[in-house]
Amino acid sequence: TKTIREALEEVIPKKQAQLAALKARHSQSVLGDVKVEHVIGGMRGLKAMLWDASVLDPLEGIRFHGLSIPDCQKQLTAAPGGKEIIAESMLWLLLTGQVPTEAETRQLSRELAEKGDLPKHVIDLIDSLPTTLHPMTQLGMGVAALNHDSKFAAAYEEGIKKSEYWTHTLDDCINLIARLPALAARIYRNVYKPGQEIPAINKDIDLVGNYVNMLGFGANHDLTEYLRLYIAIHGDHEGGNASAHTAHLVGSTLADPYLSYSAALYALAGPLHGLANQEVLRWQLDMQKELGNNITHEKIKESLWKTLKSGRVVPGYGHGVLRNPDPRFVALQEFCLTRPDLLADPVIQLVKQTSEVAPDVLKEHGKTKNPYPNVDAASGCVLYHYGLTEFKYYTVIFGVSRALGALTQLVWARALGLPLERPKSLSLEAIEKLVEGQ
Ligand code: AMX
């Protein structure tokens, strides 16, 4: 059985050769035009980043090294006694481009469990924070403080060759992914369930199994399975989204993976990005309160218009790239459809009914380019059903997940020797001058 490092040692030289050939033959080939709308429109659609592990098609959604979410559900290893994809098999796929064997997956689970304990200074730091500090702020602080033990930063200070950057980056990325559950669970316990003892990491189970145990929900097999699926399918969503892009940008300065991912988490904490999953549930529960019993499509329609007319966005709908319902939303909805207790839950029914009404309302409203639900429209209501009711915490779970993709790409950026990112900016006057007479 290969370790993840051995698997990477095999694929890295091939990818390096592929990149070298592309550079030699096509450095000056054109991929598209840069228009004024790109410069003033958040760079939507501008092809300007290398990101190998996942590609987002506007119509069919995300693929991880070519595999769709249903493909991954068929091919990637589940936990013993479970059915859903686990984080380790997704991480292996993202990092190596290969579907791991069951033995490889289990070995990676063990490696992560063995490295999962938090150092004392991080425990002390997190325990010292006010419980009123947003859990995402705490997560970013804890991740940054983990850089105390960064192998990359230590090796860089000693002086290493560029060709060795990736191996130390990999050490840090694996350590960080391993420690995120203990960190995220500690934040949850401090803020919402103070005074309870957090169970130790079980070396024989998977990353998310341990995370759910440490959160205090270990006895709930369905929640554990849901979070396995949730964390696997939120793992990567191309490189241009704000959190992935932030990790990539900060990493390009050779700041270590802890600092790079800490910065990424603060991008994820924005309401137009990861914070949306906290917003969606709050908004749906308010809608439920407002509409009372016997909720009809007509009543939901009125409520949606009320949100829109008050100048707010409908949370959980729309996307920067997608132009169809998000397949991650579909996968989470399907999880609900196989479980009668979930199907009977009024909040889950309301989320489903809203997804049947909102696209037409948003089309009529006429602004958003994508009137369909994104993943956040569904993700929180299942957590709520299972008793994880603290919405402010939901983005933290997203942050645990997104590490899989963002950190994968840091390993690859260093393995491929990608340079400091530094696009050219222009003043308004400079743009006007350049386009005059065109
Ligand atoms: N409700 C109402 N209006 C919306 C809308 C929605 N759900 N989504 C987009 N619009 C509006 C925009 O505000 C914009 O209006 P403006 O021209 O007055 O500024 C217009 O439609 C065009 O926007 P767009 O090009 O379709 O979207 P975008 O790429 O600029 O933004 C996103 C994408 C996700 C930020 C946006 O759709 C949104 O705000 N959605 C609600 C929040 C949300 O669900 N975020 C989660 C995204 C997924 C994630 O990161 N977790």
Q: pLDDT higher for 294 or 358? A: 358
Q: Whose CA is nearest to atom 17 of ligand 1?
A: 367
Cβ burial 154-172 (10 Å sphere, 16+ → b, else e): ebeeeeeeeeebbbbbbbb
- Model pLDDT for residues 47-63, shown as the tens digit of each residue: 999 999 999 999 999 99
Q: Whose CA is nearest to atom 47 of ligand 1?
A: 273
Q: In order of start, what are the domains of the chain with their CATH numbers?
A: 109-273+393-415 (1.10.580.10), 276-385 (1.10.230.10)
Q: Which atom of ligand 1 is nearest to the CA of 376?
A: 51
Q: Which of 72, 66, 71 is nearest to 53 (CA)?
A: 66
Global pTM reads 0.95
pLDDT score for 429: 97
Question: Catalytic residue at 121?
Answer: no
pLDDT at 135 over 90: yes
Check 168, 237, 248, 319 and give the catalytic one.
319
- Model pLDDT for residues 321-333, shown as the tens digit of each residue: 899 989 999 999 9
Q: Which atom of ligand 1 is nearest to the CA of 273?
A: 50
- Model pLDDT for residues 338-391, shown as the tens digit of each residue: 999 999 999 999 999 999 999 999 999 999 999 999 988 989 999 999 999 999
Amino acid letter, residue 69: I
Length of the chain: 438
What does the pLDDT average to over 394-416?
Answer: 98
pLDDT at 185 over 90: yes
Distance of CA 213 to the CA centre of its chain: 21
Distance CA 50, CA 62 (A): 16
CA of 308 to the centre of ligand 1 (A): 12
What does the pLDDT average to over 3-15?
Answer: 97
CA of 361 to the centre of ligand 1 (A): 14
Question: Catalytic residue at 376?
Answer: yes
CB 327 within 8 Å of CB 372: no
> How much is the CA Rg of the chain, to the nearest whole Å?
22
Question: Catalytic residue at 38?
Answer: no
pLDDT score for 278: 83
pLDDT at 129 over 90: yes
- Model pLDDT for residues 219-238, shown as the tens digit of each residue: 999 999 999 999 999 999 99
pLDDT at 89 over 90: yes
pLDDT score for 150: 98
Distance CA 265, CA 255 (A): 15
CA of 395 to the centre of ligand 1 (A): 18
Q: Which residues line ligand 1 (CB under 6 A)?
A: 272-274, 276, 308, 313-320, 367-370, 374, 376
Question: 152-161, 178-187, 372-381, 389-398 — which is least confidently predicted?
Answer: 372-381
Check 65, 206, 376, 385 and give the catalytic one.
376
Helix (H, G, I), strand (E, B) or coil at 55: strand
pLDDT at 85 over 90: yes
pLDDT score for 294: 86
CA of 368 to the centre of ligand 1 (A): 6
Q: Which of 238, 278, 282, 368 to mutate to test the pocket of ligand 1 (most atoms within 8 A of CB)?
A: 368
Check 65, 273, 326, 345 and give the catalytic one.
273
pLDDT at 259 over 90: yes
pLDDT score for 293: 81
CA of 67 to the centre of ligand 1 (A): 27
- Model pLDDT for residues 146-157, shown as the tens digit of each residue: 999 999 999 999
CB 209 within 8 Å of CB 219: no
Name 334's Cβ contacts closer than 8 Å, sequence gap at least 6. Answer: none
Q: Is the reported ipTM for this assembly greater than 0.95?
A: yes
Q: Whose CA is nearest to atom 37 of ligand 1?
A: 318
pLDDT score for 31: 97
What does the pLDDT average to over 410-424?
Answer: 97
What does the pLDDT average to over 158-176?
Answer: 97
Q: Whose CA is nearest to atom 31 of ligand 1?
A: 320
Question: 105-119, 133-147, 320-334, 422-436 — which is least confidently predicted?
Answer: 320-334
CA of 231 to the centre of ligand 1 (A): 23
Q: Which atom of ligand 1 is nearest to the CA of 42?
A: 30
Instruction: Tally Cβ neighbours within 10 Å of residue 221.
Output: 14
Confidence band of 194 (pLDDT split at 50, 70, 90): very high
Q: Which of 266, 268, 272, 280 to mutate to test the pocket of ligand 1 (most atoms within 8 A of CB)?
A: 272
Is residue 56 within a helix (H) or strand (E), and if so which, with residue range? strand 54-57
Average pLDDT along the chain: 96
Q: What percent of the chain has pLDDT over 90?
A: 93
pLDDT score for 276: 84
CA of 340 to the centre of ligand 1 (A): 33
Distance of CA 225 to the CA centre of its chain: 17
